[in-house]
Amino acid sequence: MSDHEPTTPSEPAERAIVLDVQDLVKHFPIRAGLLRREIGRVQAVDGVSLSVRRQETLGIVGESGCGKTTFGRTLLRLIEPTSGTVLFNGEDVTAAEAPRLRELRRNMQMVFQDPFASLNPRMPVRDTVAEPMLVHGTPKTEARARVGELLEAVGLSPEHGNRYPHEFSGGQRQRIGIARALALQPEVIILDEPVSALDVSVQAQVINLLEDLQEEFDLTYMFIAHDLSVVRHISDRIAVMYLGHVAELTTADRLYDAPAHPYTHALLSAVPIADPRVELSRERIILQGDLPSPSNPPSGCRFHTRCPIAQERCREEVPALRELVPGHFAACHYALEPGETIIQRVEDLGREVEIAGQGGSEMVIPPVPFGAGDAKGATGSG
């Protein structure tokens, strides 16, 4: 199925850059009133620069409002960026005219999060998978034949093509979405939370499938997700986003072994681990406060309002994404050293941080004011 030459295995760092994003910005205007005057802006993506090398998997993690989904969609110009450039094999996607953009999109496909919303409910699966080919002028008979191959490549059978999406389980639908993305033999696939709507046991099937397909078709992935365990498993490098900015960017292993940004620390600390002994023995810090709104982000470092080690400077000065050691970037004025835990740093600063299972104020529930004891007793016996 693949026309590609078998590639010699090489370190991802030596491979050519496929996708190069420079200072990408997407602000959504907030309009109100009769004249739809602009009264504010949601700063969904605010100056993101990163690059993806051939056949690597770049993970993008972050919580809601961090801009990861907008970022993915802006790369394909499903959402028009406000400013910045996206170079695909050196060509500026943001400057491409409509016909050229269609050509470029052949090489950059997308898999969506919701396995129920991402397939047209009124279209048999064979048409859904054939659609990208038909749009790009593949003759109908040829497209139909390839649909069978594609469905087999994702672990379904060609006979399934005649059925409608509602006849499939969530995992199968996601396979169909992947088959559609593969139809044009793209170089890059942007996977937007592809497994987060699936049950754990099925999620693992799809992750394995994605890994197999990457090998078989020499694919480059951008894997957008909120689940750090999944991202770590599949990614070579990971970018952590917070409120439209990249907080940290490095290899998957280094991110987990020696995170430099306090937000990464907190995020890793917050993820529960499915291992009771580990879970009960580790010290987990609990971040205070809610996620700020991207329509009104904090000044300076956007994380300073929740950061346990923030200082005066963080409130005023936006930290640049700087390279700490080759290949490890973090946007923090006071980045943590490898091996240094955030709890140590907090203690050095003479501050306190909430740690799961200990500390914090003990909760004492005030007694129900007068008569309550009787009332309770009455309901209990009655």
| Binding positions for other proteins, 197-226, rule CB under 8 A | 199-205, 207-208, 211, 226
Instruction: Please give the Cα distance from 335 to 143 (Å, whole number).
Output: 52
Closer to other proteins by CB, 145 or 349: give it: 145
Contact between 316 and other proteins per CB under 8 A: no
Pick from 26, 54, 68, 105: which binds other proteins (CB under 8 A)? Answer: 105
Pick from 275, 317, 337, 348: which binds other proteins (CB under 8 A)? Answer: 275
Contact between 34 and other proteins per CB under 8 A: no
Whole-number minimum distance, CB 373 to other proteins, in Å?
A: 9
Contact between 245 and other proteins per CB under 8 A: no
The answer to whether 228 and 222 have CB atoms below 8 angstroms apart is: no
Report H helices in 225-285: 228-234, 252-257, 262-270, 276-281
Instruction: Name which of residues 322 to 361 contact other proteins (CB under 8 A).
Output: 354, 356-357, 360
Closest CA to 248 of 349, 320, 306, 338: 320
Contact between 102 and other proteins per CB under 8 A: yes
Whole-number minimum distance, CB 48 to other proteins, in Å?
A: 20
Contact between 132 and other proteins per CB under 8 A: yes
Contact between 372 and other proteins per CB under 8 A: yes
Scanning 16-24, 81-89, 214-222, 229-237 for contacts with other proteins by CB under 8 A, the matching segment is 229-237
- From the CB of residue 124, how many other CB atoms can be counted at a distance below 10 Å? 16
Closest CA to 86 of 176, 24, 141: 24
Closer to other proteins by CB, 320 or 375: give it: 375
Pick from 35, 80, 277, 312: which binds other proteins (CB under 8 A)? Answer: 277
Whole-number minimum distance, CB 102 to other proteins, in Å?
A: 4
How far are the Cα atoms of 5, 120, 161, 325 from residue 193, in angstroms, in the given order?
30, 19, 24, 30
List the strands of the sheet with 17-32, edge to edge.
37-53, 17-32, 83-88, 91-92
Instruction: Please give the Cα distance from 336 to 309 (Å, whole number).
Output: 10
Contact between 375 and other proteins per CB under 8 A: yes
Helix axes 170-182, 125-135, angle to 10 degrees: 20
Instruction: Please give the Cα distance from 141 to 123 (Å, whole number).
Output: 18
* Residues ≥6 apart with Cβ < 8 Å to 114: 197
Whole-number minimum distance, CB 111 to other proteins, in Å?
A: 9
Closer to other proteins by CB, 216 or 323: give it: 216
Closer to other proteins by CB, 16 or 34: give it: 34
Pick from 15, 47, 63, 343: which binds other proteins (CB under 8 A)? Answer: 63
**Residue span 156-195 as binding mask against other proteins, x where in contact by CB under 8 A, dash where not:** xxxxxxxxx-xxxxxxx----x--x--xx-----------
Scanning 16-24, 42-50, 51-59, 147-155 for contacts with other proteins by CB under 8 A, the matching segment is 147-155
Q: Which sign, positive or negative, has the C-alpha torsion 190, 196, 199, 201?
A: positive
- What would you measure as the largest C-alpha separation in the chain, in angstroms? 82
Scanning 6-14, 278-286, 324-332, 333-341 for contacts with other proteins by CB under 8 A, the matching segment is 278-286
